[in-house]
Chain A
Amino acid sequence: MELAVWTYEGPPHVGAMRIATAMEGVHYVLHAPQGDTYADLLFTMIERRAKRPPVTYTSFQARDLGGDTAELFMEAARDAYARFKPQAMLVGASCTAELIQDDPGGLAKTLGLPVPVVALELPSYQKKENWGAAETFYRLVRACAGPRVARAEGARPRANILGPTALGFRHRDDVVEVTRLLARLGVDVNVVAPMGATPADLARLGEADVNVVLYPETAGVAAAFLQRQHGIPATKTVPIGVGATRDFIAEVAALVGVDAGAVLAEQASRLPWYSRSVDSTYLTGKRVFIFGDATHAIAAARMAAEELGFVVVGLGTYTREYARDVREAAKAHGIEALITDDYLKVEEAIAALRPELVLGTQMERHIAKRLGVPCAVISAPVHVQDFPARYSPQMGFEGANVIFDTWVHPLMMGLEEHLLGMFREDFEFADGAAPSHLGHAPAREAPPEPVAAGPATWAAEAESELRKIPFFVRGKARRNTESFARERGLTTITIETLYDAKAHFSR
């Protein structure tokens, strides 16, 4: 048993819903109690989808248990087919139905429906949402994909784009951006899946030369299957950031045998110049903490270090399936990866590392807000704010532009506000007022560092000297001085101590 307050991922059947809802012509019959229908609102309210997810819940009740829950499932499946006429059906159990062991797959088979019925085994007590999405997509691909079709000599190369789902972090716009990128390389898109694909489209997956894997979390398993079974190679690079996008272009070009020279020669993103522009000097060396799904966390770490000149002080993920990759990436930054799905542990890590910027999920946004640290969101779990009306991909060169703005904005807001804070002696400015971009609540002080001995007290003149230090570094100066005093067993902090500490820490 594990105590959870907030979770990064839902149960695996929600992952299956993300596949079914992304596609057309698929219907999912889920053996589940009524309350599990809450999952519909994720799609209709967070993503603002105009259609109900294509899911029928059997809604069994306590009085059905031990009696006719199996019959209830059959009836629901029969009705769902008759009403929605899907090209393929998914059947499966939610956590409760898994316990009553009705075997939806076996039951559905007895109905003899005239379409492929894919039985999903998603162990709810072991696995989570992303795993469920990957497994569902793989099962569908396995059931529907036709054999590889030999391409005509000299035909334009074709790619499948795999991985975008419903409720994905900027998937909608990433697909557009990557499609444009492939077009510049002279590569046509064969099928995009699961987003917008029908089972009939999945049957055509074999008509491509390469599979572009946008999100390994959801498409990794299916792509590996297509590579193994049908010999279609898959990309390994996720094009988030200027460097990764260039690597991606080179990788695709090599896989399909086109020349990437012209595309690589274009300076297609503003990021490199913006990062070099002198006003970005204040970004240099900023300490960032990164947490998210594996794909976005790894990409963010590379961008942060190589494209904005930050220092990555923390890197972690809740995606256990890709923990190894995140550990490797962390090692490259000389740090230990944080692999957890307990947001309290993430909060502890952020509080201990005291970063100047947090790049995380909505959870970290809340944590950062409470600690008074600027934050930008880089990954699911999604929130209604992660579906902006405007075009805002994360991938490709435009994605890099979007990310530059997204990350720099909270820092710039912070800087502006803090400069205002320097004029605190002016009557308009109340000292201690929190920067307005962090909300109107006063910024909570970060929890104090572990105190070895009793804290030293500030002499009055040292305290007033401290107040002359600009607001945005004052907290740090206070902490450093106190820990300096503590280490030396000083009980009173004088002006001398303050400047000794400054000298000590600026070495």
Chain B
Amino acid sequence: MDGLAAGPGCGEAPVLRERGQREVFCGLTGIIWLHRKIQDAFFLVVGSRTCAHLLQSAAGVMIFAEPRFATAIIDERDLAGMSDANDELDRVVTRLIERRPDIRMLFLVGSCPSEVIKLDLSRAAQRLSKRFSPAVRVLNYSGSGIETTFTQGEDACLAALVPEMPAEPGSARSLLVVGALAEVVEDQFLRLFAALGVGPVRFLPSRRAAELPAVGPGTRFLLAQPFLAETARLLEGRGAQRLAAPFPLGAEGTTAWLRAAAREWGVDGAKFDAVVAPGQARARAALAQRAELLAGKSIFFFPDSQLEIPLARFLSRECGMVLTEVGTPYLHRQHLAEELAMLPAGITLSEGQHVDRQLDRCRAARPDITVCGLGLANPLEAEGLTTKWAIELVFTPIQGFEQAGDLAELFARPLVRRARLMV
């Protein structure tokens, strides 16, 4: 999980490492988007009332159809003896699977309490998998706050899927796009790859857990999200090769990301340019309007999703924004090498968090816009700062050419609002 283990790469910018109160969600939060993405999977958190409350609060406007996630709340009796807790878990899972015959894959998601009491969820998953196979596969991963920060929950979930992916027979070449994307974005990319003659293209996670893509030495993969360190490591362990690229945010990022695949497939330059030209043109046109508003404005990032560095790159290079501090919960130098190389000099990168000190720095910098979590946004607005909720950047489709304008709009809107309001 620790990005610092990665070797030195390019873009060796100085980093302010901080330790203190973190104002970031834990990895359980990923369930909110993952359960919608993988449509036949159920996420069962084994945790406390706090974990259940976190999921409910993060889901915001309650998604009130019976959702495909729930919490098995550990109580006093479970804490008394371990064998008891395992029996209880089996009972809860059995009841759940009876209620939801549509479920093909069940994730047991570890939490801080389950980890502290050393409840072995991988053993539980094996045991339950045996019992419910072949109807339901049971996997496990940790979304705990002591092991994972926000989007790392997705990394842990996808990493749990990698060993389940079937082996690709032979060394036939295929492209795997790794990281949850909105379906509309997946379809756009599929059309572009098809036009480029890059394929076959598969996605991890797949829309159905029962249809995981195959992987093998012929697999080339592109990370669609910057927070997938462990998933990438395991894919490499299965012979797949990562195509190094910046992330597909903005016209420039999307072009470079697509180009990494096109190169690997030997697509010639003229063809590549012809295929991406219409998307690029639309993205640039959509950006032009918003860039006018954003150009010259300063921005400060509190750490949240690990998307901060690609976002900062996009906002500085394509929207002309001025970067002050770019905070990120973890900095994976290797996966972000291309991004770091594109950042302007003289910015402050910070990793980890001491929220009170960071608030002091933010107040001193008085940025035109501050990207932060929901716990900080209104208090900062009340102090006269303009904010953008970071979490929206995770829930909204922002990747690819067609979303470049929407992405800039997410930052422009708070500024427009502040300019319009007269009371």
Which A residues contact B (CB, under 8 angstroms)? 1-7, 9-11, 13-14, 33-42, 44-45, 48-53, 56-62, 65, 76, 79, 83, 94-96, 99-100, 123-126, 128, 362-363, 366, 369-370
Roughly how many angstroms separate A369 CA and B67 CA in the complex, as a whole number? 16
Q: Is A125 a contact of B74 with CB atoms below 8 Å?
A: yes
Query: Is the CB–CB distance between A4 and B117 below 8 Å?
Result: no
Task: Compute how far the CA of A50 lies from the CA of B24 in the bound complex, rounded to whole angstroms.
Answer: 19
Whether B356 contacts A83 by the Cβ 8 Å rule is yes
Decide: B57 and A41 in contact? CB cutoff 8 A.
yes
* Given known A-B contacts A7-B56, A10-B49, A33 and B375 have beta carbons under 8 A apart: no
**A52 to B89 CA separation, bound complex (whole angstroms):** 37
Q: Is B135 an interface residue (CB 8 A)?
A: no
Known: A3-B96, A44-B375, A96-B113. A37 touches B57 (CB 8 A): no
- Cα distance A37–B64 in the bound complex, in angstroms: 24
Known: A60-B146, A61-B147, A95-B49. 5 other contacts (CB 8 A): A5-B66, A13-B50, A62-B115, A125-B78, A370-B64
Q: Is the CB of A58 within 8 A of B73?
A: no
Min CB distance B151 to A, Å, is 12
Bound CA span A11–B52, Å: 9
Q: Which residues of B contact A49 (CB under 8 A)?
A: 378-379
Q: Does B392 contact A (CB under 8 A)?
A: no
The answer for the CA separation of A370 and B92 in the assembled complex, in Å, is 26
A-B contact pairs, 24 of them (CB 8 A): A2-B92, A3-B71, A3-B72, A4-B52, A7-B52, A7-B53, A10-B49, A33-B144, A34-B21, A34-B26, A36-B54, A38-B25, A38-B53, A38-B375, A39-B53, A41-B374, A44-B374, A52-B379, A53-B375, A57-B21, A58-B21, A59-B22, A99-B117, A369-B64
Is B28 within 8 A of A37, CB to CB? Answer: no
**Would A99 and B113 be within 8 Å (CB), given that A14-B53, A34-B24, A76-B21 are in contact?**
yes
**Interface presence of B164 (CB below 8 A):** no
Inter-chain CA distance A214–B48, complex, in Å, is 30
In the complex the two chains form, is B48's CB within 8 Å of A124's CB?
Answer: yes
B92 CB, min distance to chain A CBs, angstroms: 5
Please judge, given known A-B contacts A41-B57, A76-B21, whether A6 and B62 are in contact too, CB under 8 Å: yes
Could you tell me the distance in whole angstroms from the C-beta of A385 to the nearest C-beta in chain B? 10
Q: Which of B139-156 contact A (CB under 8 A)?
A: 144-147, 149
Within B113-135, the residues touching A (CB, 8 Å) are 113, 115-117
Known: A2-B75, A51-B382. A35 touches B54 (CB 8 A): yes
Tell me whether A95 and B113 are in contact in the complex, defined as CB-CB below 8 angstroms, given that A52-B379, A58-B21, A128-B49 are known contacts.
yes
Residues of A within 8 A of B182 (CB): none
Kindly list chain B residues whose C-beta atoms are within 8 Å of the C-beta of A94: 50
Query: What residues of chain A lie closer than 8 Å to B376, measured between beta carbons?
Result: 40, 44, 52
Whole-angstrom distance between the Cβ of B391 and the nearest chain A Cβ: 9
Enumerate chain B residues within 8 angstroms of A45, measured Cβ to Cβ: 374, 377-378
Q: Tell me how far the C-beta of A372 lies from the nearest C-beta in chain B, rounded to whole angstroms.
A: 14
Cross-chain contact B379 with A44 (CB below 8 angstroms): yes
B46 closest partner in A (C-beta): A1
The closest CB in chain A to the CB of B59 belongs to: A6
Residue B20 at the chain A interface, CB threshold 8 Å: yes
A281 to B327, CA, bound (A): 63
Q: Which residue of B21, B28, B66 contacts A35 across the interface (Cβ within 8 Å)? A: B28
B28 touches A3 (CB 8 A): no
Cα-based distance from A125 to B52 in the complex (angstroms)? 13
- Name the A residues within 8 Å of B28 (CB-CB): 35
Residues of chain A with a CB closer than 8 A to B91's CB: 1
Instruction: Tell me which residues across on chain B come within 8 A of A125, comparing CB atoms.
Output: 48, 74-76, 78-79
Query: Which chain B residue lies CB-closest to A53?
Result: B375
Given contacts A41-B374, A44-B375, A52-B375, contact A6 B56 (CB under 8 A): yes
